[in-house]
Amino acid sequence: MQTLIQGAGAFLWPLGFCSFLALYLIIERALALRVSRVAPESVVKAVFAGQLDQVGAADGESVAGRLVQRWKDGASGEVLKAWARHELIRLQRGLHLLDSIVAGAPLLGLLGTVAGLATLFPEQGLPDTPTLTRGVGLALSTTMIGLCVAIPSLLASNWLARRLEILSSRLDVLVEALEARRR
């Protein structure tokens, strides 16, 4: 492990930053995309049962609760759908950064690989053993760290995207149910 870290050289800093940022985004979005924070069962049941007066201020902390409140305030049709889209965009916050880390971490690793291999070709002759070892170490370490950051980030990004898709569908059904109540 120590050899891996030492071998990465200066590329360890941006790759480490990507790693910590990805971890933060994954945890923060996983907490934000909980069903209880977006579309609690109590709000959904109240809408389908026609008991909208039971959706109170405490439910206003959830996306579904805010949509019901907008409906109570008179928003309907395209206006209510626009509010739902606005809420979905808020739920996507930070996911573009996670996607950038998924794409950028392997590229940083590849840049480290190229930098490591570039040290293997001095102006004259073959490199000495320490130069060869340092260059190959940089090349392999940065590639491995870049992939170790990107692969879990990719898996988490896909999981969060799927979670968002499920919640989006749930909110679409909720908006349609609210619209049916208005008609």
Q: What is the pLDDT of residues 57-66, one digit of tens each?
A: 666 789 999 9
Q: What local confidence, expressed as pLDDT, does residue 180 receive? A: 87
Does the residue 55 lie in any domain?
Answer: yes
Give the chain's mean pLDDT.
Answer: 88
Q: What local confidence, expressed as pLDDT, does residue 117 receive? A: 80
Does the residue 141 lie in any domain?
Answer: yes
Does the residue 118 lie in any domain?
Answer: yes
Number of compact structural domains in the chain: 1
Contacts (Cβ under 8 Å, ≥6 apart) of 119: 127, 131, 134, 135, 138
Does the residue 58 lie in any domain?
Answer: yes
Could you tell me the pTM of the whole model? 0.85
Q: What local confidence, expressed as pLDDT, does residue 77 receive? A: 86
Q: What local confidence, expressed as pLDDT, does residue 1 receive? A: 58
Does the residue 1 lie in any domain?
Answer: no
Does the residue 151 lie in any domain?
Answer: yes
Print the domain residue range for 122: 10-182
* Average pLDDT over every residue of 27-53: 91
Least confident among 36-40, 90-94, 133-137, 147-151? 133-137
More confident position, 171 or 59? 171
pLDDT level of residue 8 (50, 70, 90 thresholds): low
Q: At what angle do helices 129-182 and 78-91 cross, to 10 degrees?
A: 160
Does the residue 4 lie in any domain?
Answer: no
Alpha helices in the chain (DSSP H): 2-8, 12-32, 35-38, 41-49, 63-72, 78-91, 95-118, 129-182
Q: Are 37 and 90 in contact (CB under 8 A)?
A: no
Q: What local confidence, expressed as pLDDT, does residue 157 receive? A: 97
Q: What local confidence, expressed as pLDDT, does residue 38 receive? A: 93
Does the residue 143 lie in any domain?
Answer: yes
pLDDT digits (tens, 9 = 90+) for 80-134: 999 999 999 999 999 999 999 999 999 999 988 888 788 777 666 677 778 777 7
More confident position, 51 or 148? 148
